[in-house]
Chain A
């Protein structure tokens, strides 16, 4: 392969924005200082951390004090789910989540099941939406936590979190939301959504890998048991010396997303729809997820009569995903698409195409033409 592939896997990770890199380098080239130290260098480091905390909080309309920095959204999900379930175990030992959640959530729920908690996994409708009535029916007096993602990482479906939060309020259950794919792509207002815990990632919106955050509501503050100990940083919820350059990078990425997000999301939505219009001309193409309630940067399409892995290989000059990046090595049909009622063949023959800040019209048109050609070739090989 002589040329770099066209990158269309921005839901997996995004390139570092040069302005974010500059913010990180400014930290790395500054005199060393532990934000926990009281000397001048420590105070300077602390100032950078607090500035970034405010920038992250601003994007989700939260007070800065509600932000706990973690190593990423996976850790934030684990802290929220394990921490809230264990911290509220005296009230009840039942959790509710959804079959289409990210593995970070499902595996954390699995861990709790092995600790004796009961977990109910809701099945969304065929377009990926969770029915608030189904959540209402699943809630019991023992339910302490509900975990529902805002934007699905495979399909881009946007849940009606506010409606689900209302059900949680009626039964006194906490609500955790994984917003790793939502931040910077759709507006987030934690007060309007009425969530208690919300996970964030930096590298999904042109920030660095290895840093994320958990929003923890201030009033009333949910009880959380930390996962690690030593130092008491981040209000005792996440001990460990803060990675100032990573945090500064996350702050810069969230500041840029706040400033540029709305017009950029509108641009991506236009590109996503342009791509879908080109692909739906292929007979046997199926849009996965909701046609309206979806994020602007993710398009998930299944193609009848082809193998997903073969399609991905035939498209080696495009960097995109078949199923979730985290589970692509398994080669099994996407559990998310199967939960939406897709049969194994269609779930397996899916492409997740995700767009980002550098994506151009030319790239989208080239990708559409290559995908169509690859699908047609593989169909010509297959038994009719």
Chain B
């Protein structure tokens, strides 16, 4: 992107390719949702687990380019992590994407959706 673009190259690539996006088919998935009304950000996160760890991750997202790119980045980092420890290093995600401070709150929508999906999945596994 040009030096005047508000979006980093990483945001541009992840926004364009959105790896891991979509609604999964098949059994064994649980999902969680979160919203932020003012910006109308809406995230639904899907998780599949094996042995208490994330086996696969998908997401649906309505949001700004930074939010969409963050979802794509995070989805790629969850596999293998224990359901009981899916906390995100949001400052690092923001730094990797060049996310402006004013939008930092939108990343919490992703974190909340993941936490809710993990909670559902953990309850089902128990």
Contacts and interface: CB of A to CB of B under 8 A. Distances in A.
B7 A382 contact: no
B40 A344 contact: yes
Interface string A285-318: 0000000000000000000011101100110000
B38 interface: yes
B62 A307 contact: yes
A345 B61 contact: no
Interface stretch (B49-57, B63-71, B83-91): B63-71
Given A344-B40, A383-B44, A310 B64 contact: yes
A77 to B, nearest CB: 28
Contacts of A60: none
Interface string A313-351: 110000000000000000111000000000011001100
Given A310-B15, A344-B37, A383 B43 contact: yes
B64 A309 contact: yes
Most interface-central of A305, A314, A332, A345 (chain B CB within 10 A): A345
B8 interface: no
Contacts of A313: 7, 15, 65
Interface in A351-384: 378, 381-384
B51 to A, nearest CB: 28
A382 B65 contact: no
Q: Is the interface of B mostly helix, strand, loop or mixed?
A: mixed
B102 interface: yes
A305 B65 contact: no
Contact of A381 (B37, B62, B64): B62
A318 to B, nearest CB: 15
A383 B40 contact: no
B65 A309 contact: yes
Contacts, number: 53
A314 B64 CA distance: 10
Nearest to B37: A344
Nearest to B62: A382
A307 B63 contact: yes
B10 interface: no
A313 B65 CA distance: 7
Contact of A331 (B7, B15, B64): B64
B44 to A, nearest CB: 4
Contact of B60 (A306, A333, A344, A383): A383
A381 B65 contact: no
Nearest to A349: B40
A106 to B, nearest CB: 20
Given A310-B68, A313-B15, A331-B102, A381 B61 contact: yes
Given A307-B40, A313-B7, A345-B40, A383 B65 contact: no
12 contacts: A313-B7, A331-B64, A331-B102, A344-B37, A344-B38, A345-B40, A378-B62, A381-B21, A382-B61, A383-B33, A383-B42, A383-B62
Of all A-B residue pairs in the complex, the 10 with the closest CB atoms, nearest first, are A382-B62, A345-B40, A383-B44, A383-B60, A309-B64, A313-B65, A310-B65, A307-B63, A381-B21, A383-B42
Interface of A: 305-307, 309-310, 313-314, 331-333, 344-345, 348-349, 378, 381-384
Given A307-B40, A381-B68, A383-B62, 14 more contacts: A310-B15, A313-B7, A331-B102, A332-B38, A333-B38, A345-B40, A349-B40, A381-B18, A381-B21, A381-B61, A382-B60, A382-B61, A382-B62, A384-B23
